[in-house]
Chains A and B, each alone.
Chain A
Amino acid sequence: MADEAHGGGIQIHPMDQFKVEPLFGGDHIGMLTPTNVTLWLALAVGAVVLLLVVGTRGRAIIPSRAQSVAELAYGFVYKMVEDVAGKDAVRFFPYIMTLFMFIVTANFLGLLPMSFATTSHIAVTAILALAVFLTVTVLGFVLNGTKFLGLFWVSSAPMALRPILAVIEIISYFVRPVSHSIRLAGNIMAGHAVIKVFAGFAAVATIAPFSILAITAVYGLEVLVAFIQAYVFTILTCVYLKDALHPSH
C-alpha cells in the first residue's frame, strides 16, 4: 500500500487477530465451514476434557495435582451457585459449570500468542448471554407464573413511585443480556488489542524496551481479567438465576 512508504516500520493491526478465517483456505465462510473459531472452540473443549476428565481419571482419595485443580473448579462453582442462587439452584449447577469452564478455558487459551480468542467475539458472548437470559425468563414464568412479574413491581416503594420503578426495572431487565455479553467480549477484545498495539510499537528500537515492558504488564493484567471475567459472567448468571427462582424483592 502507498501509506507504507512513510510508515517508519510501524505496522499496527490490533484487530487482525480477531478475524474469522477458514481453516483450509477459500474466502467463503458458511455456517459449517471449519474456521479458526472451530479450532479454538475445539481446543477449549479439549482443555476442559483434559482438566476435568483426564485429570480426574485416578479418582484418588488423595488427589493428584490435576485432580486437585478439577476439584477446586468444581467446588468453586458449586459453592458460588449455592451461595448466590440458593440451595434449590444446585440442580442448575451443570449448566453453570459448563458456562464457567468454557469461558475460563477460552479466555486463557486466547492469551496464548498467535491464538484466537473466541470469547472476544460478541457473537459468542451474545449467544451465551441470551441463553442465560432466555433460560432465566422462561424458568421464572414456569416456576412462578405471573408472580414472576413481581420482580418489576417494587412493593417496598411508595405507590406513586412503583410504575416509574417498574419501567426502570423492565428496561434494566432487558439490558441484562447486552451488558452481560458486551462486558465479557469487550474486556477480552480490549486487552488483546492493547497488547497488539504495544507489540506494534516494539518495532521502533528506541521505544521497544518500554513497549515490551508494557506488553508484560498488560499481559499480567489480562491473565487476571481472563479469570475475573469468567467469574463475573458466572456469578451474574447465578444472580439472574436467583431472580427466576425467588422473584420477590
Chain B
Amino acid sequence: MAGDSHATTATEHATDAAHGAADAAHAAEGAGMPQLDFATFPNQIFWLIIAILAIYFILTRIALPRIAGVLAERKGTITNDIAAAEELKLKAVEAEKAYEKALAEARAEAQKIAAETRAVIKDELDKATAKADAEISAKAAESAAHIAEIRDSALEAVDTVAKEAAAEIVSSLGRPVDAGAVAAAVEAQIKGDA
C-alpha cells in the first residue's frame, strides 16, 4: 500500500528523534508497526500454516503416540511392581508364620530332650549316690568295729596298768602285796568310775 510506506518513513523520522522513549512509544502507536504491514501477511500466514502442519504431523505421527506409549508402559510397570510387592509381602508374612511355628516346635523339642536328659542323669546320679551311701555305711561299720576293738584292748591295757601300778604303790608303801585284793579293788574303782 502506498499510504503504508509513507507512514513508515514518517515513523522512522519520528523514532530517530532524540526525545527518547516517549516519542518512540508514540511512534509505535502509529501506522509504522510492522505488525500492520499487510504486505507481509500472505508470507507470514503461508509459513505459519506450513509450520503448524509440520508440528501437527510430527506430534500425531511420532511424538504423541511415543509419549503416550511410554506413559502407559510406565503405569503398567508400576502397577505390576506394586502387585508383585503385595504378593511378596504376603509371602513374607507366610514365611514369618512358618518360621515362628518351626521355632516353637524346636523349642518344645529342645525342652523335651532336656527333660529326658535330666531324668537320665538324675537316675544315674541316684544310683551312684545309693551305691556310695552303701559303701560309706559299710566302711563306717567296719571302722566302728575296729574302733570298738581298739577301745576294748585299750581298756584292757588300762586295767593291767592300773593293777600293776596299784600293786607297785602298795609294795612301795611297805606292805605285802595281795595280788587278788589289789585286782579286786582296782576293778571296783574302775567300775565305780564308769
Contacts and interface: CB of A to CB of B under 8 A. Distances in A.
B141 interface: no
A75 to B, nearest CB: 8
B167 interface: no
B55 A102 contact: yes
A14 B71 contact: no
A234 interface: no
Contact of A53 (B37, B43, B46, B62): B62
Is chain A's binding surface mostly helix, strand, loop or mixed?
helix
Contacts of B48: 37, 41, 118, 123-124, 127-128
A115 to B, nearest CB: 15
A10 interface: yes
Interface string B8-40: 000111011110110111011000111111011
Contact of A8 (B18, B67, B70, B71): B18
Contacts of B93: none
Interface in A1-55: 1, 3-4, 6-8, 10-15, 18-20, 29-33, 35, 37-38, 41-42, 44-45, 48-49, 52-53
B71 A37 contact: no
B44 A123 contact: yes
A122 to B, nearest CB: 5
Is chain B's binding surface mostly helix, strand, loop or mixed?
helix
B58 interface: yes
B66 interface: yes
Contacts of B21: 12, 197, 200-201
A12 B12 CA distance: 10
Nearest to B68: A74
Contacts of A60: 70
B54 interface: yes
Contacts of A120: 35
A185 B35 contact: yes
A19 B11 CA distance: 13
A74 B64 CA distance: 8
Contacts of B20: 10, 12, 200-201
Contacts of B45: 123-124, 127
B56 A95 contact: yes
Interface in A99-126: 101-102, 118, 120-124
A139 interface: no
A208 B162 CA distance: 149
Contact of B24 (A19, A33, A41, A197): A197
A3 B13 contact: yes
B35 A18 contact: yes
B24 A200 contact: yes
B52 A6 contact: no
B59 A59 contact: no
Contact of B60 (A12, A94, A102): A94
Interface of A: 1, 3-4, 6-8, 10-15, 18-20, 29-33, 35, 37-38, 41-42, 44-45, 48-49, 52-53, 56, 59-61, 63, 67, 70-71, 74-75, 93-95, 97-98, 101-102, 118, 120-124, 127-128, 185, 189, 193, 197, 200-201
22 contacts: A3-B18, A4-B16, A13-B15, A14-B28, A18-B33, A18-B35, A20-B43, A31-B42, A38-B43, A45-B51, A59-B70, A67-B70, A71-B67, A74-B67, A94-B60, A102-B55, A118-B44, A121-B44, A122-B36, A127-B45, A197-B25, A201-B20
The 9 A-B pairs with the shortest beta carbon distances in the complex, nearest first, are A52-B63, A41-B51, A20-B40, A31-B42, A18-B34, A123-B44, A12-B24, A7-B18, A98-B56
Given A14-B25, A49-B58, A123-B48, 7 more contacts: A14-B28, A41-B51, A52-B59, A98-B55, A185-B35, A200-B20, A200-B24
